[in-house]
Chain A
Amino acid sequence: MTGKLMPLLDYFEGKKLLDRHGIKSVASRYVDSAESAVEFSEGDPIVLKLISGKALHKSKSGLVKLDLRGTEIKRAFAELQEKGKPLKPYRIIAQKMSKGGVEVIMGGRTDPQFGKLILLGLGGIYVEVFKDFALRACPITKQDAEEMIAQLKSRDVITFNGKNSGMVIQLLLSVSKMLMDNCRIDEIDLNPLILRENGYEAVDIRILTK
């Protein structure tokens, strides 16, 4: 969504907000040293991200390091610290690596005329390349959610040929409710949010408040 410079909600406040609305997101923690990142990984592959109000496009700016194990974690942490120097204040977040599935974007923004809008699209880099997204005014009904999915060219990819449609519909309804219940949310991006046949998790959370 568009990125005017607005107050960026702390990642974990955003995560708590999602929790309260029953929206799952990937296990994450702020880390202040390479050692604490290694400890967090418990031997699993992890992701390190640098979060700063001065850098809204993390992956484009090389501030996301994916699929790190063992010594890679230490090297990536040092690299992010170096990159973070001009971006202070910043924090580094460690997340469990979320593998497989389909990356979608679920988002919302406040339109000056129509109020809260909700968006679902093929996510990650594809959202800008293919512009395959559906938009509706909140609050949406179950039928609106169904139609949003049906409208997408990527509908069969996103729903695994319809197998997880119910889950995606429920998720859209939860995000719509969250947008309606929290008037302070100006814009929200859950991008990527990873959908699988049997589950999902929001991997990145960006919430701009009014």
Chain B
Amino acid sequence: MDLKPMLKPESVAIIGASRDQDKVGHVILQNYINAGYSGRLYAVNKAADEIMGIKAYPSVLKIRDRIDLAVIAIPAQFVPEAMEECGRAKVKSVIVVSGGFAEIGNKDLQDRLVGIAEKYSMPTLGPNCLGVMDPRSRVDTLFLPTYKLSRPQVGGVSFVCQSGAVGSTVLDLISGEGFGLSKFISYGNAAHIDEVDILNYLMEDDETKVIILYVEGIKRGREFIEVAKRITRKKPVVVLKAGRTVAGQAAAHSHTAALAGNYEAHEAIFRQYGFTIAEDLSDLLNFAKILDSEPFPKGNSIGVVTNGGGAGVLVADAIGMSESLVLGGFSNKNTEFLRKSMPPLVNIRNPLDLAGDADGARYDEALQVMGSDDNIDMVLAIILFQTPGTDSKTAAKAISFKEKMSKPMIVLSVGSEYTEMHKIMMESAGLPVYSSPSAAVRSLAELLKYANYRNKK
């Protein structure tokens, strides 16, 4: 199914656009205006001539323009009629934001919607969804005010989400991360367009480098396997499957009317076809971040540099507990170099503890070794900003190193405001920063796993 008219529309009609600020249709139109959408925008409202300066029409049939996308935000019982009009007006794609369909037992009403979508070959997203966001084309059908939900910057990560609430929450979190968004697609009840269609589209989408997928239940299993086999050959997919326990599955049923399939079966499929499996929401961000910015490692050995002994031990523990990663040794030449350049209190071993008074210059020498030593495949720099020697110059050193480095490199910085400020600084320069040893090490392990998958099959 071609989702381009939905994601890159040249003209959009908001059906249910309203002057009433409490109406979903009002927020959607407002957001289109706020986002600076540059295409042709129309409001459809039976009772108004004009809304927020946009000309309003009583029906989509009255608009004398080809409409690429109609966003429908009206009560469920009126949706079929509105869709029928869209079909007759040759609208190219539809998003049904409205709820009140299969998720509350109104399966017949949903079937009518699917019937109309099929009759007119009109790709239809939803119902019961947030719709789409594409920061490049400035399309934003979310009915959530921008002051409540920050919008992420432009980037290469596409986020596909069955649940609207999880979608908006994670989107808000993504906006606080260093990576940017390519597409957000919330597909709700998956009545017409489902995850298989969306993955097929994103697989070929050059703007998408990494995909985050949140699913409750996959309906077309065999078709999913077909796209799963191909998509991870081209780009990583980080997946979180809700409905792990029997209780969780019952909840999924009442939520998006999805038949949440057996978790183990889903996990088996994801594993078999090289998906990166997240255990919770924070994994989605942690794994997507490293897959988005870092090159594939050549091997499994980690070089750790730190200005805190304890943090180094925690990281070494996490590496020891991982099934796949090891701490690398340094070459004789590099060991010699470090002996000469480091103060006597620095023990020359991995993790390399630069001591609490380490400054940018000491990090610089240590990172040079990590970058050049063939025994090190990935670099984990622990920078604790609470110590006297570390400041913005240390962060700047790490950034300038990152720019030259051909190996994967990430930073672990644990702390609050001062640390957070430097995290933003480093991440916006494309250096992923993690806030816990296990998150950092697990992310490196997932990067390696995906690299191995790509290199093998």
- The residues of A with any CB-CB pair to B shorter than 8 Å are 111-115, 117, 134-137, 140, 143-144, 147, 151
Min distance, Cβ A51 to any Cβ of chain B, angstroms? 28
Contacts A143-B456, A143-B457 given: A115-B268 contact, CB under 8 Å? no
Q: In the complex, what residues of B have CB within 8 A of residue A144's CB?
A: 272
Min distance, Cβ A118 to any Cβ of chain B, angstroms? 9
Q: Which residues 218-255 of B sit at the A interface, judged by CB distance below 8 A? A: 218-222, 224-225
| From A112, A135, A147, A151, contact of B264 by CB (8 A) | A135
B416 contacts chain A at the CB level, 8 A cutoff: no
B261 contacts chain A at the CB level, 8 A cutoff: yes
B262 contacts chain A at the CB level, 8 A cutoff: yes
| From B220, B225, B261, B456, contact of A137 by CB (8 A) | B225
Most B C-beta atoms less than 10 A away, residue of A111, A113, A140: A113
Interface size on B, residues (CB 8 A): 19
| From B220, B222, B268, contact of A135 by CB (8 A) | B268
Q: B272, A113: Cβ atoms under 8 Å?
A: no
CA distance A114 to B220 in the complex (A): 8
| From A111, A135, A143, contact of B261 by CB (8 A) | A111
CA distance A136 to B228 in the complex (A): 13
Add 19 more A-B contacts to A114-B222, A136-B271 (CB < 8 A).
A111-B261, A111-B262, A113-B218, A113-B219, A113-B220, A113-B221, A113-B261, A114-B218, A114-B265, A114-B269, A115-B221, A117-B265, A135-B264, A135-B265, A136-B268, A137-B225, A140-B272, A144-B272, A147-B272
CA distance A109 to B220 in the complex (A): 18
Query: What does the 1/0 interface line of B168-209 toward A look like (CB < 8 Å)?
Result: 000000000000000000000000000000000000000000
Q: B221, A114: Cβ atoms under 8 Å?
A: yes
Q: In the complex, what residues of A have CB within 8 A of residue B457's CB?
A: 143
Contacts A111-B262, A113-B265, A143-B456 given: A136-B219 contact, CB under 8 Å? no
Interface of B is mostly: helix
Give me the 10 closest cross-chain CB pairs, A-B, nearest first: A113-B221, A135-B268, A114-B221, A111-B265, A113-B261, A136-B272, A136-B268, A114-B265, A137-B269, A135-B264
CA distance A78 to B215 in the complex (A): 55
Q: In the complex, what residues of A have CB within 8 A of residue B217's CB?
A: 113
Q: B221, A117: Cβ atoms under 8 Å?
A: no
CA distance A111 to B269 in the complex (A): 11
Q: In the complex, what residues of B have CB within 8 A of residue A143's CB?
A: 456-457
Q: Which residues 316-350 of B sit at the A interface, judged by CB distance below 8 A? A: none
Q: In the complex, what residues of B have CB within 8 A of residue A147's CB?
A: 271-272
CA distance A117 to B269 in the complex (A): 9
Q: Which residue of B lies closest to A141 (CB)?
A: B457
CA distance A112 to B220 in the complex (A): 10
CA distance A143 to B453 in the complex (A): 11
Q: In the complex, what residues of A have CB within 8 A of residue B261's CB?
A: 111-114
Q: In the complex, what residues of B have CB within 8 A of residue A112's CB?
A: 221, 261
Q: In the complex, what residues of A have CB within 8 A of residue B220's CB?
A: 113
Q: In the complex, what residues of A have CB within 8 A of residue B262's CB?
A: 111
A-B contact list, 18 entries, CB within 8 Å: A111-B261, A113-B218, A113-B220, A113-B224, A113-B261, A113-B265, A114-B218, A114-B222, A114-B224, A114-B261, A114-B265, A117-B265, A117-B268, A134-B268, A135-B267, A136-B268, A137-B268, A144-B272
Q: In the complex, what residues of B have CB within 8 A of residue A137's CB?
A: 225, 268-269, 272
Q: B456, A114: Cβ atoms under 8 Å?
A: no
Q: Which residue of B lies closest to A134 (CB)?
A: B268
Q: Which residue of B lies closest to A144 (CB)?
A: B272
Q: A115, B222: Cβ atoms under 8 Å?
A: yes
CA distance A111 to B271 in the complex (A): 16
CA distance A42 to B245 in the complex (A): 50
Q: Which residue of A lies closest to B220 (CB)?
A: A113
Query: What does the 1/0 interface line of B265-286 toward A look like (CB < 8 Å)?
Result: 1011101100000000000000
CA distance A112 to B221 in the complex (A): 8
Min distance, Cβ A27 to any Cβ of chain B, angstroms? 34
CA distance A140 to B221 in the complex (A): 16
Q: Which residue of A lies closest to B222 (CB)?
A: A115
Q: In the complex, what residues of A have CB within 8 A of residue B219's CB?
A: 113
Contacts A143-B456, A143-B457 given: A111-B272 contact, CB under 8 Å? no
CA distance A113 to B263 in the complex (A): 12
CA distance A14 to B218 in the complex (A): 32
CA distance A115 to B265 in the complex (A): 10
Q: Which residue of B lies closest to A135 (CB)?
A: B268
Most A C-beta atoms less than 10 A away, residue of B222, B261, B271, B457: B271
CA distance A143 to B455 in the complex (A): 13
Q: In the complex, what residues of A have CB within 8 A of residue B265's CB?
A: 111, 113-114, 117, 135
CA distance A111 to B272 in the complex (A): 16
Min distance, Cβ B271 to any Cβ of chain A, angstroms? 8
CA distance A117 to B225 in the complex (A): 12
Q: In the complex, what residues of A have CB within 8 A of residue B218's CB?
A: 113-114
CA distance A63 to B272 in the complex (A): 38
Q: In the complex, what residues of B have CB within 8 A of residue A113's CB?
A: 217-221, 224, 261, 265
CA distance A168 to B436 in the complex (A): 39
Contacts A135-B264, A135-B265, A144-B272 given: A111-B456 contact, CB under 8 Å? no
Most B C-beta atoms less than 10 A away, residue of A114, A115, A134, A151: A114
Q: In the complex, what residues of B have CB within 8 A of residue A140's CB?
A: 272
Q: Which residue of A lies closest to B268 (CB)?
A: A135
CA distance A147 to B274 in the complex (A): 11
Q: Which residue of A lies closest to B456 (CB)?
A: A143
